[in-house]
Chains A and B, each alone.
Chain A
Amino acid sequence: MTLVRHTAVIARKDLAIEIRGRHALGTLLPFAATLLVAFGFAFGPGREILARVAPGLLWMAVLFSAVIASRRAYQSETEDGALEGLLLAPIDKAAIFLGKATAVTAELLALVIAVLGLVIVLFEMPVGSPVPLVAAFVLGSVGLAVVGSLFGVVAESARTREAIFPMLVLPLVTPVLIAGVRATDLAAAGRTDDALAWLGLLAAFDIVFVSVGILVFGSLMED
């Protein structure tokens, strides 16, 4: 399908830019790591407390990173006005939305892999059921990336005040935060069956927002 092809072109382009610009590694990873260490100081040093809040803190780090990464995904488009080039390409504009969401998801997953180790060590988070744990982060990252990529185009299109983008995204991704933390908590405790309901919620969120995003993204891009 053409949409899939175009999505791939844009996702590939974005990932190439990110890898070469080393933004994901150079900025996001230190940011997330610093955040988690800071959380450690703020909530610690009691081991029980840290183990309890580990999932929440991890998701906070992922959430903030998603906001930064989504924003960054559109910054490469505004340096030389490249976004207009994509607008004027005779493609379904939804490909831009999906392509960027794909790239941001990949970045977030790379980040998660990197900091998960950190959290398991620093906060002594157990890993009861690895499969639902991974699934939670995959589904959650998709949800965050999708909402971020949807409104990221607004954040870069006009003279915007800094805070508008997180203000739009954060309330909307509340279900991802809640479900993600709960699923991670349950998976860490080895309670796979209980985690499944939350994973289902995450999946539903993803499907809904991808679908709606495809329908409305063009309206956000056009002038």
Chain B
Amino acid sequence: MRTLPDPSVRVRDTAVDLRSVTRLFGTVPAVVRVDLSIDRGEAVVLRGPNGAGKSTLLRIVATAISPTFGGGSVLGFDLIADREQIRARCELLTHRTRLYEELTALENVRVFTDLLELEPERADRALERVGLSAEAGERVRGFSSGMRQRVAIARTIARDPDLLLLDEPATALDQAARELVGSVIVDASARGRTVLIATHHDVPDGLHARVVSMRDGRIGAAA
């Protein structure tokens, strides 16, 4: 009778487990037979040229779009059958800020804290963290692109998701915003959150990340 767990069986706590995922847009393949495995707490950088399929892959993990073929799980939940569970625990940051122009910065964040049933104060604290406390009550319509990204980041901070997905986070950001994103990523990783970044820029300092390359919809050898 065994009293100790068998050391030859590695128990992996997987955050992302994609198996032969393929996504077509019409007849154009964007992601082809991708196998990807990410452990909880890992930081992974997805590198590849434009059009490699990085954004599509991230969106599949986020469950924004579904795979045409293949499947898998994210944070233990099935990619196709348990999408809402995945959505509750992960956040996707892209260059599209997903803001409502006529609402204030605070209201934009509050929409999501309300929907997710988090305390409203988290929205205020998040805006403070990104340096927008003063502008919290102003409509987003007048914001610069750097400020808009910071509101989007505040939304993410307020949620503190288990899995953080970032699609080209450094693009079209000013230096200050880029540093802010970097610090958020490093901070999340340090606290044990799983991070997946698609970028062809440099990785933020202080982040120990595994690099996975992608080209023409396929995953290359992991570095």
Residues of A at under 8 Å CB distance from B? Answer: 6, 9, 13, 16-17, 20-21, 76, 79-82, 84-85, 87-91, 222-223
Contact = CB atoms under 8 A, between A and B. Distances in A.
Interface stretch (B62-70, B125-133, B171-179): B62-70
B101 A9 contact: no
B96 interface: yes
B111 A9 contact: yes
Interface string B35-67: 000000000000000000000000000111110
B107 interface: yes
B212 interface: no
Chain A interface main SS type: helix
Contacts of B209: none
The 9 A-B residue pairs whose C-beta atoms are closest, nearest first, are A90-B88, A81-B96, A85-B98, A20-B102, A90-B87, A17-B102, A223-B65, A82-B98, A90-B84
A83 to B, nearest CB: 8
A57 B141 CA distance: 37
A20 B66 CA distance: 36
Q: How large is the interface on B (under 10, 10 to 19, 20 to 34, 35 or more residues)?
A: 20 to 34
Contact of A88 (B63, B111, B139, B148): B63
Contacts of A90: 84-85, 87-88, 116
A2 to B, nearest CB: 8
Nearest to B114: A9
Contacts of A87: 64
A16 B64 contact: no
B160 to A, nearest CB: 14
B76 to A, nearest CB: 15
Contacts of B103: 13, 16-17, 20
Given A13-B103, A17-B103, A222-B66, A89 B98 contact: no
A174 to B, nearest CB: 34
A53 B156 CA distance: 55
Contact of A89 (B87, B96, B139, B148): B87
A188 to B, nearest CB: 38
22 contacts: A6-B115, A9-B115, A13-B100, A17-B100, A17-B101, A17-B103, A76-B100, A76-B102, A79-B100, A80-B97, A80-B99, A81-B94, A81-B98, A82-B100, A84-B96, A88-B91, A89-B116, A90-B85, A90-B87, A90-B88, A91-B84, A223-B66
B157 interface: no
A141 B154 CA distance: 38
Given A17-B103, A20-B103, A80-B98, 7 more contacts: A16-B103, A17-B100, A81-B97, A82-B99, A88-B64, A222-B66, A223-B66
B162 to A, nearest CB: 12
Contacts of A223: 64-66
